[in-house]
Every structure is written in C-alpha cells, then in structure tokens.
Structure 1
Amino acid sequence: MNGAGKPSSVKRRANNHTTPANGVKVANGAMAKTASTHFSDASFMKWTVADAVHVATHHWIPCLFALGLLFFMGVEYTLFMVPPSSPPFDLGFIATRHLHAILESSPDLNTLLAALNTVFVGMQTTYILWTWLIEGRPRATISTLFMFTCRGILGYSTQLPLPQEFLGSGADFPVGNVSFFLFFSGHVAGSVIASLDMRRMQRKELAWTFDVLNVLQAVRLLGTRGHYTIDLAVGVGAGILFDSLAGKYEDSKRKGAALTTKHDFS
C-alpha cells in the first residue's frame, strides 16, 4: 500500500466515455466527430473550378437570379419608404405617363381603347367557354374559376386605393365604371390561361396573338391607371399557377377514376 502522503504510482488510463444519468455510454467527442464527417461530406466541399464554370455556362439563368437577389437586397435596404401621405410609387405609371396625358386629353380615344379592350375580354371568355362546352376540355374553365375565386379573396382582403389619376370609361369592362378589385388583374390572368390552353392544342399563332393583345392591354391599363404594375405582374403568375393547379386537379380525378375502375373489375 502507498503511504498516506505518497502519490500513487499507478496511472489511470484516461476515460474517454461518460455515463449519462440513463446509463447509456456516449463517447466523448462523438458528436463533434459526426459533425466533422458531415461537413467533409458536404456537397460544396467537393466543388471545383470546373464545376463553377459549368454552372455559369449551363445554368446562367439561376446565376442571373442570384445577382438579382444581391442587387435588390441592396435596393431594399437603402430605399426611402413612401410616406403614408403620398400616393404609391409605380414604375409602370412613370413609363406610361405620356400615354396617360394623351388619353386624359382625348376622352374619345380613351373610350375607343376601352371598348377594344372589352372586345378582347369577350374573346378570352368565348375561347375558354368554347374549350369546355364545344371541345369538352374543362381545364381552362376550371383554372378560370380557381383564379377568379382567389382574386376575389385577395382583392377583398387587401383593398388597394384607386390611383388618383384613374381614367374610367363606360365602355370598359366591367361596363359602367362599377367598382372592381385592383389586385390582381383578371384581364391579364384570363388571357394567360387562354394562351396556355392554345399552346397545349398547338394553336401557336392564336396564342401569340393573345400574348401581343395582352401586352397592349397591360400598357393600356397602366396608361389609364386602371391597375398598378404589381396587379398585372401577379396576373401573369396567377394565370400560370391556376392553369397548373387545374391540370393537377384533372390528373387526380383521372387517377381516382382509374383506381375505382380497377377495384370494380378486381
């Protein structure tokens, strides 16, 4: 035995394990080792210069969006906010200020363009109903129902102020200068839905015609201050979104019908 004041000559081996209260042994540093392993196996650790060049040359669109993200982060964080007493800032209004001045000084021209725009809305409606009632393809009609329902919910939830320079017309749609939702543009979304259906049916010339008329419609709506720019942009996205959702709805119904038929014969 060692003396009381004499240090022990037996060296204990360092214990690399700890025993938690539940009795399970966990190796010291195991978590750190696991984290290190995951870090070394991370995808970006294997990137090379050749990979970066490949991304820049073959995926340049996402690269542009990445630059756009950085640019607009700088814009957003240095922007002077529009005060509550001022009208909303709209770049589309600035771009169409000359058109607005012409339409303001010529009510007859404003009425003529409004009437032509109403005819275009009638063309959209006629085509969408034709695809369902005559051709038996309900997708465009379903997407339009989805779109206008969502537009009603959003338009009522956030009711934007009517632009101060709004130029109304009795020939516009809705006819008679009745109240309407600003967000988002049903004119634009309906045209996009019709155009997408035309492309599915290989009616490309008609689709391009609708696209050109839709652009002219958007310019006219900005010139008359009938919509903000964001209303028109979201209208394009809404048309694409609800057309896609209508397609998924049809696919789900077809799959459900196929499963039902399979069970009936099994």
Structure 2
Amino acid sequence: MNGDNLHHRSVPQTTTLLKTPNNISINKINLKKTPNYVSSNGKMSDQWPTHWWSLADASFLRWTAADIIGVFKYHPVPCFFAVTLLFFMGVEYTLRMIPPSSPPFDIGFVATVYLHRILASSPTLNTVLAGLNTVFVGMQTTYIIGTWVIEGRPRATVAALFMFTCRGILGYSTQLPLPEGFLGSGADFPVGNVSFFLFYSGHVAGSVIASLDMRRMQRWELAILFDTLNILQVMRLLSTRGHYTIDLAIGVGAGMLFDSLAGKYMKNASSSVVEQDGLCTNRPLLS
C-alpha cells in the first residue's frame, strides 16, 4: 500500500446536514421530501388540497384505454356483476308487481312443483324426510357445541349464538305469511309442527357455520358431506314450502357473515384477555 492511500483514509470525513421544511441537504446535495398528494395534473405535491374534492381531481380523468381494458381482463367477476345489475334494473322497472290478494311468487316453489306433489300425496314419505332433516339439525348442533365443549374452540358456537339472535329479531320484525301449500310434519324441526320464523333459515345458516369450521380444521370430507346434506335440505324445505327461496339464500349469507363476525370477536377478545392477564394461563371459557 502506498502512502497516498494511507493518508487518504486517515482524513476524517465530515458531513454537513441542513434541513428546510421541504428539503434535506447532505453535503450540499439536496434531497426533496417525498410528496404525499397527487394533484389534478398528475404531479405530486406535498400540500394537501383545501377542498374535499372537485371534478378536476376526479380519478376517471386519469383513466386510459389500457386501464379500461385491464378492468375486463383482470376483474371479470365484478364486470359480470355489472352486467347482471343492468339486466335486473331492466327487469325491475318492467316487472308487474304481485297484487296484495295473490300469494307471493317464489321461483324455488316453481322449480319444485313436482316434488311438492309427491310429498303432498305421500304423508309418510314427508314425515320420514322431515325426521332425517331433524337428525341433520342434531348433527349440526352437536358439532357446533362440540367444537367449544370438547375441542375448546368457541368460534362456531359464538357464530351460532349471533346468528340465531339476529334471526329472532328479523323474524319477529317482519313476519311473513306461511307459504301456500305448506306440508308440515310432527317430525320436523322445531319438533311438534309448531310455529317458526321464516326469515331467515336457521337450518341452512347453521349448516354453513359448521361447514366453514370444518374447512378451517381441514376436515374436507366432513365438510363436503355437510354441504351435500345442506343442498338436500334446501330442496326438501322448498318442496314442503317450509321456507321461501329468499330465506334459504339469506341463510347461506348469514352463516358466512356471522362466522366472520365471530372470528373478529374472538380475535379481539383474545387480545383483550392477553393485555389484562399478561402471561396468566387461566383463560375465560370463551377465549
């Protein structure tokens, strides 16, 4: 190594740092602070606008043909929903309303007319199917409660509590008339052919809650079995006029919704217990 190199390395390096509101200067090299607002002309600015929004700041003014094509290419599902929205807007504005003196129109009832006739002509078959459906409800209940009592995982139980409470509130708030041609059975759930809320289907929602839990635990075969039995249950409930189609469809959505809400509740509850108890191993039954 020569002396020049040694001398060069021994010279102490000095750094000058100067700050201004919008710039940082290091050794006379200016570094502008990163802006955080896009103005109407597409340029970045570190000043927030003095208004909430204006047409000049509208996002669509910066759209390009490639952006629009990309929507159809990369987001086909929302595009499909957009088309169906336009279709049903046309249907809604041209459809003649059902008069108050007529029974409700239900496409599920139309699709199960043949099965309804079979069950109406065979009370024994109707009772057997009702009994089997009640067994399936018992399977749902056993599994959902078992996930908490046996496995210590209360999420499905909490979801079912949320779901049935909301069902009771909505069912009482708007009491739908019993469908024309209802085929009741003493073996059906609620057992004894008693009254029940139509909106929404607790049968279907409970099945969905159980199925979602099975999938979380990777119990795929059991989940497929429950989904299959749920489809058969839907067909029977439509055939016996035990529920309107909308009750069953919302039952599926309700199962998903309350399972998600229960998951968020359990997450927040667990965090709260940890914050309060620290490393304590004694946890509440629902944590």
Tell me if both proteins adopt one fold, taking TM over 0.5 as the criterion: yes
The one-letter code of the counterpart of 2:164 is F
The one-letter code of the counterpart of 1:190 is G
SS of 1:176 mapped into structure 2: coil
The one-letter code of the counterpart of 1:133 is V
Q: Hey, what does 2:150 align to over in structure 1? A: 134
Counterpart-to-counterpart distance in 2, 1:164 and 1:252: 45
Q: Hey, what does 1:78 align to over in structure 2? A: 94
Q: Hey, what does 1:7 align to over in structure 2? A: none
The one-letter code of the counterpart of 1:134 is I
Counterpart-to-counterpart distance in 2, 1:89 and 1:103: 20
Give the alignment partner of residue 216 of structure 2, picking from 195, 200, 215: 200
Consecutive unaligned residues in structure 2, runs of 5 or more: 1-49, 281-287
Q: Hey, what does 2:85 align to over in structure 1? A: 69
Establish whether residue 46 from structure 1 lines up as the match of residue 67 from structure 2. no
Q: Hey, what does 2:237 align to over in structure 1? A: 221
SS of 1:246 mapped into structure 2: helix
Structure 1 residue 40, shift from structure 2 partner: 3.8
Structure 1 residue 263, shift from structure 2 partner: 11
CA deviations over 1:109-161 (Å, ceiling 9, x no partner): 11111111111101101101110110000110011011111111111111100
Give the alignment partner of residue 161 of structure 1, picking from 167, 173, 177: 177
Give the alignment partner of residue 144 of structure 1, picking from 114, 135, 160: 160
Counterpart-to-counterpart distance in 1, 2:279 and 2:63: 51
Counterpart-to-counterpart distance in 2, 1:151 and 1:261: 35
Establish whether residue 243 from structure 1 lines up as the match of residue 259 from structure 2. yes
Counterpart-to-counterpart distance in 1, 2:88 and 2:219: 38
Structure 1 residue 41, shift from structure 2 partner: 3.6
The one-letter code of the counterpart of 1:260 is Q
Counterpart-to-counterpart distance in 2, 1:47 and 1:217: 48
Establish whether residue 253 from structure 1 lines up as the match of residue 266 from structure 2. no
Q: How do 1:86-105 residues align onto structure 2 when only pairs under 5 Å count?
A: 86-105=102-121
Q: Hey, what does 1:115 align to over in structure 2? A: 131
Consecutive unaligned residues in structure 1, runs of 5 or more: 1-33
SS of 1:256 mapped into structure 2: helix
Q: Hey, what does 1:22 align to over in structure 2? A: none
Q: Hey, what does 2:248 align to over in structure 1? A: 232
The one-letter code of the counterpart of 1:92 is G
> Which structure's relative contact order is higher, taking Cα pairs within 8 Å and 6+ residues apart?
1
The one-letter code of the counterpart of 2:101 is S
Q: Hey, what does 2:37 align to over in structure 1? A: none
The one-letter code of the counterpart of 1:196 is L
Counterpart-to-counterpart distance in 1, 2:71 and 2:55: 22
Question: Structure 1 87/207 Cα, relative in aligned 2: closer, same or farther at 3 Å?
Answer: same
Q: TM-score, normalised by structure 1?
A: 0.83
The one-letter code of the counterpart of 2:274 is A
RMSD: 1.8
Counterpart-to-counterpart distance in 2, 1:207 and 1:48: 45
The one-letter code of the counterpart of 1:127 is Y
The one-letter code of the counterpart of 2:258 is F
Counterpart-to-counterpart distance in 1, 2:241 and 2:121: 15
The one-letter code of the counterpart of 2:153 is R
SS of 2:178 mapped into structure 1: coil
Establish whether residue 190 from structure 1 lines up as the match of residue 209 from structure 2. no
Counterpart-to-counterpart distance in 1, 2:127 and 2:113: 18
SS of 1:119 mapped into structure 2: helix
Aligned length: 231
CA deviations over 1:210-259 (Å, ceiling 9, x no partner): 11110110010000000000000110011011111111110111111222
CA deviations over 1:159-191 (Å, ceiling 9, x no partner): 100011000111111111101000110000000
Structure 1 residue 103, shift from structure 2 partner: 0.6
Establish whether residue 58 from structure 1 lines up as the match of residue 77 from structure 2. no
Counterpart-to-counterpart distance in 1, 2:194 and 2:181: 17
